[in-house]
Amino acid sequence: MLEIKNLRVSFHTYSGEVQAVRGVNLRLEDEDTLAIVGESGCGKSVTAQSIMRLHNEEITDIKSGEILLDGTDLLSISEKEMQGIRGNWIGMIFQEPMTALNPTMTVGNQITEVLRQHAGGKNGKMTKKEARERAVELLRMVKLPNPEQRVDQFPHEFSGGQLQRVVIAMAMACSPKILIADEPTTALDVTVQAQILDLMKEMQKEKKVSIIIITHDLGVVANIAKKVAVMYGGIVVETGTVEDIFYRSKHPYTWGLLDSISRLSRRKGEPLKSIEGTPPDLVKPPAGCPFADRCEYAMQVCKDHLPPETGLSEQHLCRCWLLDRDCPVKPERRPV
């Protein structure tokens, strides 16, 4: 359904050109859930925003690549054509629901605005009455109690979890084929996080939507994802099914991420592990592996050359020199 090929995106800043995304390849199949995981600044949100073309055009430079949606390259169509894609084909859920909504408008008016702008009624546009009925139906679909009353309320009258439900209703308003969720649960309490993930899974099952979820939280990945792409320093370092990443991962950065999760088996007083060091400066990205400065297995070749992609199975790909057949070191993932 969606294929990203060799995407390179830079930002022009006072410090120089930040090479935020450096040759990303990803695929999203029908009704799939792809999680893009990594630390802040690894390029995951920029990749997602590129799909929607939501960048600040004054400072953003899409250096190369294609984003193919059912064969159409979203990077080469006009802004007017792109407006037809946003909402109708691709819906977006943002991290902070309060900032995604207008505080001076009722949630009903915000949903009807989306519907009247994007969704076609009998004559290409919905009437006000049709749009309001659909807004109530959407609030019911995301399980907000008393949708007939709540449709006339303002965002400040909702809790954080309820607001995220409203944002999901807006994203689903025009029955998109793809839902992009950028850290959709980060601003929410843990119990509400689980409810929102359950709701997204339900939406997927009922509406047959494909999901791209951007997150730094491997708990969220385990809960919802079928495929995972691990990003670091603007590139995808490992990608595979959720089982490949949790049980058969081959990249030292993925190992570091997995080791930093809290587990039931952790002994009392045992500190959580962290990955020492900081991510690379993408104004001057390293010539070799971006993880080399923090990797305990780094060799000279890692510093000099970007590792090629090694296919471990049809779906499981990893960029690490440890997988080179001539590599003298063959570490395995340490048991945790």
| Residue number with CB closer to ligand SF4 (11 or 255) | 255
Task: Please state the closest distance from residue 144 (CB atom) to ligand SF4, in A.
Answer: 45
Calculated CA dihedral for residues 233, 235, 237, 243, nearest 10 degrees: 110
Q: Pick the closer one to ligand SF4 by CB: 154 or 297.
A: 297
Min separation Cβ 187 and ligand SF4, Å = 32
The structure tokens listed for 35 are 């999680």
Residues 6+ away with beta carbon under 8 Å from 275: 253, 256, 257, 260, 294
Nearer to ligand SF4, 219 or 286 (CB): 286
Instruction: Tell me how far, at minimum, the Cβ of 288 lies from ligand SF4, in Å.
Output: 7
Name the site residues for ligand SF4 (rule: CB under 6 A): 251-252, 289, 291-292, 295, 297-299, 302, 307, 320-322
Least Cβ distance, residue 259 to ligand SF4 (angstroms): 14
Nearest distance in Å: CB 315, ligand SF4: 20
* Residue 67, both tokens: 């984003």
What is the sign, positive or negative, of the torsion defined by CA atoms of 157, 160, 161, 163?
Answer: positive
Distance CA 28, CA 305 (A): 29
Q: Which is nearer to ligand SF4, 111 or 302 (CB)?
A: 302
Nearest distance, CB of residue 279 and ligand SF4, angstroms: 13
Question: What SS3 class is residue 288?
Answer: coil
Furthest-apart CA atoms within the chain: distance in Å: 70
Neighbours of 137 (CB within 10 A): 13
- Cβ proximity to ligand SF4, 203 vs 282, nearer residue: 282
Nearer to ligand SF4, 63 or 333 (CB): 333
Least Cα distance to 180 among 94, 245, 118 occurs for 94
Residue count of the chain, please give it: 336
| Residues near 247 by beta carbon (within 8 Å), at least 6 away in sequence | none
Cβ proximity to ligand SF4, 108 vs 290, nearer residue: 290
Check: CB of residue 309 under 8 Å from CB of residue 317. yes
Instruction: Give the span between the Cα atoms of 110 and 104, in whole angstroms.
Output: 10
According to DSSP, the β-strands at 72-73 and 60-69 are: antiparallel
Which tokens in the block code for residue 186? 């980060």
Q: What is the C-alpha separation between 252 and 272, in angstroms, rounded?
A: 17
Minimum distance from residue 305 beta carbon to ligand SF4 (Å): 9
The nearer residue to ligand SF4, 87 or 233, going by C-beta atoms, is 233
Helix (H) or strand (E) holding 10: strand 2-13
**Comparison of 44 and 251: residue with beta carbon closer to ligand SF4:** 251
